[in-house]
Amino acid sequence: MWYSLMSDYVAVRRYNIICLGSIPYRPREYFLRLTTCKSLHVRQPDILHFTPPVKSYKMHLSQLLVLANSVGTALSASILLSGGTIIAFDEELESLNVIRNGALLVTDDRIAGLYDVPKPQGLPKDIEIVDCTHKIISPGFVDTHRHGWQTAMKTMGSNTTLTDYLFRFAAPASAVFYTAEDVYIGQLAGLLEALNAGVTTNLDHAHHTWDKERSEAGLDATIESGARVFWAHNFGSVGKYLVPDQITAFRKWLKTKPKPDGLTTISVAYDSWSFEPAAHTQAVVNLIKELKPAVLTTHWLGGVWPIVNSPETLQPYGILELDTAIVFSHAVAVSAGTASLLRATNHFISITPESEMHYGHSHFGSHLIQDQASLGVDTFLTFSTDLITQARIWLQRTRSRLYDEVINRWQIPASNPMSVNQAFLLATRQGGLALRRPDLGVIRVGAKADLVVFNGRSPSMLGWLDPVAAVILHSNVGDIEHVLVDGKFKKREGKLTYENYDAVVDRLLASAERLQAIISEQPAPVYDGTFYGVPCTYGHPLEVDAQHGPGNGYGELFWKTTSKTQDNTGKGGKDHNEL
């Protein structure tokens, strides 16, 4: 379908952009012609009968200019990061290797050289040298579980449980009021946010696939973002948009969607192993066996949660033995038998520490299978978007629970059960292995040039000696000076290189204003009985009292500008008379 919007046909001559006229375009095609004349194509289904207002997400001229500019983001084919401390990976020793006052050579999209001197000899004449003195050069972080489209609902889920999230913010609930524009700009802004935080690779569980237009909007935004993304289309019938219809659209996008730099890999997500009609599930299985997508991902909790998409669930379908990487998100109730199956088939889980602690998933055994684990962010509408925070939280969560086991035996801990190196590897190399991409999440010759450069002289990092500890325990997003993906700068000198980012901000804020107004007017659900019919009733945890004197300090949610939305109404707490 051709869109009526007219946009400029642009050309790139070195780094200058000239307009050549106007033609209609499809959002999935970018008509950029280089001077070489090469073309560059740079369940609650019952609530889903509402059709949201149609709102176009068509690109403006500025967004075409973005892609044009991105061709020349790197000023030459080779870049030398000179004088920094490099957190490299030694494949022979299977361990991190720190190179101090060294250099890293990037040629095109790959790491071409590692040196123990800042300015090695024999470099290309046109090389761009970036001074990294006093800086830490890290591999890009790999997020193996994210829902990128939800950016506009940020701060709306601050006090939620998993049930709150599912019934108020998750895919089925949001389908009622999200337009294609909302999906598009939320996905684009969310992936740019991730790039700003040094997340260079995302496994995006795209469950905004309620119809063709909104599915395609998320995919188009993903392609435009410039991030490395495994965009996993979620299959699951929504109203009249059934799995067979989704498969038809999926096949079309595989053939027609542009891959100007190969950064977007269309993959598969499927959660309905126990909910969809058997014929639909088999159709998804047949699709996986036929197309052999790079990645399949599924939510799996277990325990009290009736989301049991475990390796044992998938095993009878004969897909665990395929070359397709399978990532099981959360896996909080993993057992010893399941751990053995994961190891035997070399599939990974994605631990999302902040998410699982925030929503109440809990962690039963995932700390025992970290050799087949990676890290994810999950629903960043509610909390941090960076992998550094996730690694730090998971490190201390694991340390605390293992320390408790010693203390509960009335013993004194004599060693630290988890190291900063292990946390760092979970956020980098383990993510690449989970995706069966050993060239991601590591610094070694031949690996993809996905890199993050930290300012070692920032207030939070000043005085560091161990670069791994500095990143995991002391750094924050503001310390990230440069981010490269495929050898191109996506963040430089502390700022995103995405042209006209202000326009993205304006569109996201307009979307957020509309969506947040709708959500804030909805009454909070009351939870009683059982969750989705499982034999587990709702229960209330002990509510914290954090206020001296009357009341407990829980307070209200500040969602509205003119009035207050009360949360936990009637829970006033105790009087403090003990003093």
Q: What is the Cα Rg of the chain in Å?
A: 24
Q: Is the pLDDT of residue 25 over 70?
A: no
Angle subtended at Cα 498 by Cα 233 and Cα 58, rounded to the nearest 5 degrees: 55
Q: Which two tokens stand for residue 258?
A: 């542009």
428 pLDDT band, cuts 50/70/90, is very high
Average pLDDT in the 81-103 region? Answer: 97
Could you tell me if 74 and 124 are in contact, meaning their C-beta atoms sit under 8 angstroms apart? no
Structure confidence at residue 526 (pLDDT): 86
Q: Is the pLDDT of residue 95 over 60?
A: yes
**Residues above pLDDT 90, as percent of the chain:** 74
Structure confidence at residue 77 (pLDDT): 84
DSSP-assigned states of every residue in 503-535: HHHHHHHHHHHHHHHHHHTSPPP---SBSTT-S
Structure confidence at residue 39 (pLDDT): 30
Distances in whole angstroms, Cα of residue 223 to Cα of each of 57, 140, 322: 14, 19, 27
Does 92 or 59 have the greater pLDDT score? 92
Structure confidence at residue 42 (pLDDT): 29
For the beta carbon of residue 575, count every other beta carbon within 10 angstroms.
9
Q: Determine the Cα–Cα distance for residues 419 and 473; give it in Å rounded to an integer.
A: 11
Q: Determine the Cα–Cα distance for residues 491 and 486; give it in Å rounded to an integer.
A: 13
Spell out the residues 6+ positions from residue 438 whose beta carbon is closer than 8 angstroms to its own: 432
For the beta carbon of residue 262, count every other beta carbon within 10 angstroms.
9
* Helix, strand, coil percent content, the chain, rounded in steps of 5: 30, 25, 45
Q: Which two tokens stand for residue 211?
A: 């119809």
Average pLDDT in the 412-431 region? Answer: 98
Q: Which two tokens stand for residue 80?
A: 């030398």
Distances in whole angstroms, Cα of residue 21 to Cα of each of 198, 404, 542: 37, 69, 66
Does 304 or 478 have the greater pLDDT score? 478
pLDDT tens digits, 553-569: 999 889 876 554 444 44
Q: Is the pLDDT of residue 178 over 90?
A: yes
Phi/psi region, residue 288 (left: phi>0; alpha: psi -120 to 50; beta: rest), is alpha
Structure confidence at residue 295 (pLDDT): 98
260 pLDDT band, cuts 50/70/90, is low
Q: Which of 46-60, 191-205, 289-303, 394-408 has the lowest mean pLDDT?
A: 46-60
Q: Determine the Cα–Cα distance for residues 520 and 514; give it in Å rounded to an integer.
A: 10
Structure confidence at residue 544 (pLDDT): 96
Q: Is the pLDDT of residue 577 over 80?
A: no
431, 433, 439, 442 alpha-carbon torsion, rounded to 10°: 50
Q: Is the pLDDT of residue 505 over 90?
A: yes
DSSP state of 415: S
Average pLDDT in the 397-412 region? Answer: 98
Q: Is the pLDDT of residue 161 over 80?
A: yes
Structure confidence at residue 328 (pLDDT): 98
Cα 323–chain centre separation: 23
Burial code of 97-113, b = ≥16 C-beta within 10 A, e = fewer? eebebbbbbbbebbbbb
391, 397, 400, 405 alpha-carbon torsion, rounded to 10°: -120
Q: Which two tokens stand for residue 179?
A: 């337009």
Does 42 or 114 have the greater pLDDT score? 114
Residue 217: φ, ψ to 5°: -60, -45
| Average pLDDT score over the chain | 86
What's the predicted TM-score (pTM) here? 0.86
pLDDT tens digits, 335-363: 999 999 999 999 999 999 999 999 999 88
Spell out the residues 6+ positions from residue 224 whose beta carbon is closer than 8 angstroms to its own: 59, 63, 66, 67, 188
Q: Is the pLDDT of residue 36 over 60?
A: no
172 pLDDT band, cuts 50/70/90, is confident
Residue 411: φ, ψ to 5°: -120, 165
Furthest-apart CA pair in the chain: how many Å?
Answer: 82
> Coil, strand or helix: which one is 56?
coil
pLDDT tens digits, 206-248: 999 999 999 999 999 999 999 999 999 999 999 999 999 999 9
Structure confidence at residue 529 (pLDDT): 82
